[in-house]
Copies of this chain bind each other. A is one copy, B any other.
Amino acid sequence: MIKYPNQSKKVPTAPIVKKRNLKKANLGTDFETKINNSNQYYLNKGIASIYKKPTPIQIVRVDYPARNKARIVEAYYRTPSTTDYNGIYRGYHIDFEAKCCHNTSFSFAHIFTHQIEHLMTIDRLGGIAFLIIEFPIHKEVYLLPAKKLYAKYEQSLKGGKKSISYKEFQEEAYLITEKINPAIDYLKIVDLLIEKKQNEDC
């Protein structure tokens, strides 16, 4: 291929890169949509009120094209203080992070340390805290309680491996069977966790 000057914008690799990113992003978004729809189902049935928190944004500059209209023209993504989702179910405070894992192991690089610590704080204060993880290559979704996540994270700090393998999820996490509606019926597993908690408290 002959490269003409000033035609750098037409390099054919650009759309391919874009397409790949789009596909990856969509996979994560699909999972998020399924969780959001499940939460909407729970809310409609009146059994739980669980929401995704908005993405934290640092707003730098806002324009007012009209008196009652604000357009944000400069803003940046901020690091979230806590996790993606929280709410209430059966009187219990529910808190979790949702991740889509495209590999065969979940690296601790994909979750912030302060998010793991936040989940432990919720657990200690009497809430139900966990990680929900989707493995698209296995078409499976797992729920890992905060205590187990934290134990594995602590091991990684002491020189252990920096990830949790799919096999470990199979053996130590709870499999959430995908359904039509709600797609990700994670509250069924939360029922088990509440039962376990109540037995511990006795």
Q: Smallest CB–CB gap between A144 and chain B, Å?
A: 20
A75 CB within 8 Å of chain B: yes
Q: Mark A111-132, 1 if CB is under 8 A from B, else 0.
A: 0000000100110111100000
With A and B bound together, what is the CA distance between A75 and B75 in angstroms? 8
Which of A79-87, A145-153, A167-175 lies at the binding interface? A79-87
Closest-by-CB residue of B relative to A95 is B88
A57 in complex: contacting residue of B55, B93, B126, CB < 8 Å: B55
The complex is assembled from copies of this chain, and their number is 2
Q: Mark A29-53, 1 if CB is under 8 A from B, else 0.
A: 0000000000000010010110101
Q: Mark A55-93, 1 if CB is under 8 A from B, else 0.
A: 111010000000000111111111011100011111111
The answer to whether A71 and B72 have CB atoms under 8 Å apart is no
Q: Which residues of B contact A124 (CB under 8 A)?
A: 46
The answer to whether B55 and A54 have CB atoms under 8 Å apart is yes
With A and B bound together, what is the CA distance between A127 and B90 in angstroms? 9
Q: Smallest CB–CB gap between A56 and chain B, Å?
A: 4
Given A70-B77, A74-B72, A127-B88, does the pair A54, B51 have CB atoms closer than 8 Å? no
**Additional 6 contacts, C-beta under 8 A, given A51-B82, A90-B126:** A53-B54, A88-B125, A88-B127, A91-B92, A92-B93, A93-B127
- Write the residues of chain A forming the contact surface with B, with a CB cutoff of 8 angstroms: 43, 46, 48-49, 51, 53-57, 59, 70-78, 80-82, 86-93, 95, 118, 121-122, 124-127
